[in-house]
């Protein structure tokens, strides 16, 4: 009986570890967010969020703006140079200006944060990126689905009171 | 030939059975009365929905009633004409009677009886319905209830009976009234039957029935009384009672119709709760009154004025004011917002502070 048990245990161990052969692969540079967001994006939807109402659990705290102000024509383009570094951005379409319609940009980090907090897209009016004009949050990074989400948050004394959430799809 | 003989034999065999058979016609469907409430010495019409029975449409049907008394006793196999129902339409029959006369009883005796119990049958008594009962709604509590008005039912339907009781003792100025009349309308006086005291037919039509001691009753079916066109949706009935030739009136009364669910009240709101001059200002109004389908706004920030209109429906009117574009080069700490509807009624007249952005 005891012998059988030992044999069974050994067999199980063999099955578990026997074929484990780690494959470390060869080194490739990780794909940065710049590569992922490079290009032109079309609007899927845009909504306005009442952050004060949301914080207090008051409904409704969202309004869909997709059907207003020509937002169906909204497009945004992020450019990168040959070295994969961020250069300029531009909003296309005859829509109201919630943030400067063109300028230069820089991410707070070229990679997603282990903490999960959204990477910031800092917007600048100059190519040297010294005059910051606004900031977007990259709340959903493009993956296999060619979709991303940008959030523009309005704050006063550090407290958000309104935000705009743009859902975008890659334009081919 | 053989089959023919068989058929005859079969028929002969069945014949005695048929002659003796009491054909059960099933339960009597809903019954109702007009007037809805009545005294036992008042003429009343009972209505019977027999769609639940096997009686044929328009068939001659008789009532055989044994409580509170049995007027047609002994005539089961040949009902008297006075017990015959009148066919109305569909599968509805009616029977008109004055209970005290029909049963030869005093109102008190009828009130103390077991109620109205009956079967419906054909003349020869070969077909009979199940035993059924006509419900009676007592209303004597009104005499001591200290209520000015009481309606049966409280929420009327356009094509069903309605009885309105009135205690004139509680209406100032109604002492010594010769007659009391109803001045009324459906749907906020949309369809009126005015008390035109100079037209005899109108005086008669609008006159309340006197119950004695300053109590009165009005019985009507709204659709007929107001001659409402087919498909008319009754939302409410407005009325007041008038003494003699407009010597005195009660305050306006209203009964909401049973099928009518009062609409939720309109709700107006701005969106969001806090705003900067770089944000859209949402203007939203839901559950609008009939005909309200547009809002016109005037937003003033310092010397800058933005006007526009928002189209929508009774369900919702929603739009956004493009402050980011309009106030791009304006320094303002607050905006004044005036919102009117398409009837030039002011919906909102308010000042909204603008948040300073970080």
Cβ-based contacts of A49 with chain B (< 8 Å): 272
Here the tokens at position A18 are: 């026997």
| ipTM of this complex prediction, to 2 decimal places | 0.81
Query: Is it true that B140-256 and B267-353 share their CATH fold?
Result: yes
* A128 contacts chain B (CB < 8 A): no
Beta bridge partners of B282: B271, B320
Would you say the C-alpha torsion B70, B74, B79, B82 has a positive or negative sign? negative
**Mode of pairing for the β-strands spanning A75-80 and A39-50:** antiparallel
The listed CATH number (2.60.40.1930, 2.40.110.10, 1.10.10.10, 1.10.3720.10) that belongs to domain B140-256 = 2.60.40.1930
In a domain, A33, yes or no: no
| Peptide bond preceding B69 in cis form (omega within 30 of 0) | no
B331 pLDDT higher than 50: yes
CA distance B323 to chain A (A): 9
pLDDT tens by residue, B275-312: 999 999 999 999 988 778 899 999 999 999 999 999 99
CA A28 from centre of chain: 22
The answer, for A63 touching chain B at a CB cutoff of 8 Å, is yes
Q: Which residues contact A87 (CB under 8 A, 6 or more apart)?
A: A79, A80, A81, A104, A127
How many structural domains is chain A composed of? 1
Looking at CA atoms only, how far is residue B291 from chain A in angstroms?
24
pLDDT for the residue numbered A45: 94
Residue A17 has pLDDT above 70, yes or no: no
Whether B358 sits inside 8 A of A158 (CB atoms) is yes
Asked if A96's CB is within 8 angstroms of B357's CB, the reply is no
CA distance B151 to B172: 20
Contact A68 B320 (CB under 8 A): yes
Flag whether A103 is in a domain.
yes
H or E stretch covering B14: helix B2-20
List the single range of A10-14, A83-87, B311-315 with lowest mean pLDDT: A10-14
- Predicted pLDDT at A6: 63
Q: How many angstroms away from the CA of B162 is the closest CA of chain A?
A: 43
Give every CB contact of residue A52 below 8 A, 6+ residues apart in sequence.
Answer: A58, A161, B272, B273, B274
Question: Bridge-partner residues for B339, per DSSP?
Answer: B297, B348
**Does some domain include residue A31?**
no
Asked whether residue A72 is assigned to any structural domain, the reply reads: yes
Q: What is the pLDDT of residues B201-253, one digit of tens each?
A: 999 999 999 999 999 999 999 999 999 988 788 999 999 999 999 999 999 99
Tell me how many degrees the CA angle B310-B316-B320 measures, rounded to the nearest 5.
Answer: 40
- Domain boundaries in chain B? 2-134, 140-256, 267-353
Percent of chain B topping pLDDT 90: 82
At B157-181, the pLDDT tens digits run 999 999 999 999 999 999 999 999 9
In a domain, A11, yes or no: no
Residue A101 lies in domain? 39-170
Average pLDDT over residues B248-262: 88
CA distance A166 to chain B (A): 15
Inter-chain CB proximity B320 and A69 less than 8 Å: yes
| B355 interface with A at CB cutoff 8 Å | yes
CA B120 to CA B127: how far, in whole Å? 8
Q: Residue B13: its pLDDT value, please? A: 47
pLDDT, residue A77, reads 94
Residue count of chain B = 358
Confidence of residue B17 (pLDDT cuts 50, 70, 90): very low
The answer to whether residues A37 and A138 touch, using CB atoms and an 8 Å cutoff, is yes
Query: Which residue of chain A comes nearest to B319, CA vs CA?
Result: A68
Backbone angles phi, psi at B323, to 5 degrees: -65, -40
Q: Is pLDDT of A39 > 80?
A: yes
**Residues in a beta bridge with A43:** A168
B323 sits in the region (left: phi over 0; alpha: psi -120 to 50; else beta) called: alpha
CATH at residue A139: 2.40.128
pLDDT of the residue at A156: 94
Separation between Cα atoms, residue B137 and residue B116, nearest integer Å: 12
Q: If you classify domain B267-353 with CATH, what class do you get?
A: mainly beta
């Amino acid at each position: 009986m005891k012998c059988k048990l030992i044999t069974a245990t050994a067999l199980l161990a063999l099955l578990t570890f026997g074929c484990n052969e780690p494959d470390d692969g060869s080194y490739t540079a990780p794909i940065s967010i710049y590569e992922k967001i490079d290009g032109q994006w079309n609007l899927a939807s845009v909504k306005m969020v009442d952050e004060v109402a949301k914080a207090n659990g008051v409904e409704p705290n969202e309004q869909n703006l997709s059907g207003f102000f020509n937002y169906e024509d909204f497009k945004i383009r992020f450019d990168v140079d040959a070295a994969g570094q961020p250069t300029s951005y531009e909003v296309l379409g005859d829509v109201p200006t919630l943030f400067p319609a063109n300028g230069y940009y820089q991410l707070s980090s070229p990679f997603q944060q282990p903490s999960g907090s959204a990477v910031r897209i800092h917007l600048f009016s100059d190519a040297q990126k010294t005059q910051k004009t606004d900031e977007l949050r990259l709340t959903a990074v493009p993956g296999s689905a060619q979709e991303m989400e940008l959030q523009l948050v309005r704050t006063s004394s550090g407290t958000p009171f309104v935000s705009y959430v743009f859902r975008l799809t890659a334009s081919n | 030939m053989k089959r023919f003989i068989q058929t005859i034999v079969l028929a002969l065999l069945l014949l005695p059975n048929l002659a003796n058979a009491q054909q059960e016609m099933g339960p009597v469907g809903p019954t109702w009365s007009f007037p809805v409430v009545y005294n036992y010495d008042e003429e009343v019409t009972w209505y019977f929905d027999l769609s639940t029975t096997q009686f044929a449409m328009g068939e001659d049907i008789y009532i055989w009633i044994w409580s509170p008394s049995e007027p047609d006793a002994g005539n089961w196999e040949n009902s008297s004409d006075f017990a015959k129902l009148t066919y109305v339409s569909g599968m509805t029959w009616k029977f008109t009677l004055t209970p005290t006369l029909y049963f030869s009883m005093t109102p008190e005796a009828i009130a103390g009886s077991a109620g109205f119990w009956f079967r419906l049958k054909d003349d020869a008594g070969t077909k009979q319905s199940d035993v059924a009962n006509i419900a009676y709604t007592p209303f004597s509590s009104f005499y001591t209830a200290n209520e000015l008005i009481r309606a049966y039912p409280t929420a009327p339907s356009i094509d069903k009976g309605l009885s309105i009781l009135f205690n004139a003792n509680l209406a100032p100025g109604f002492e010594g009234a010769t007659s009391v009349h109803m001045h009324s309308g459906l749907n906020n006086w949309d369809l009126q039957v005015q008390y035109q005291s100079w037209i005899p037919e109108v005086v008669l039509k609008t006159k309340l029935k006197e119950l004695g001691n300053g109590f009165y009753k009005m019985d009507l079916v709204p659709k007929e009384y107001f001659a409402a066109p087919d498909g008319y949706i009754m939302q409410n009935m407005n009325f007041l009672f008038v003494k003699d030739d407009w010597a005195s009136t009660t305050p306006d009364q209203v009964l909401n119709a049973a099928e009518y669910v009062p609409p939720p009240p309109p709700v107006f709101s701005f969106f969001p709760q806090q705003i900067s001059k770089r944000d859209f200002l949402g203007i939203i109004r839901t559950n609008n009154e009939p005909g309200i389908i547009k809002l016109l706004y005037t937003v003033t920030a310092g010397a800058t004025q933005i006007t526009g209109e928002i189209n929508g429906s009774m369900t919702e009117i929603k739009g956004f004011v493009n402050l980011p574009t309009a106030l791009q080069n304006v320094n303002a700490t607050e905006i004044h917002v005036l919102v009117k509807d398409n009837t030039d009624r002011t919906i909102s007249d308010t000042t909204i502070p603008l948040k300073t952005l970080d």
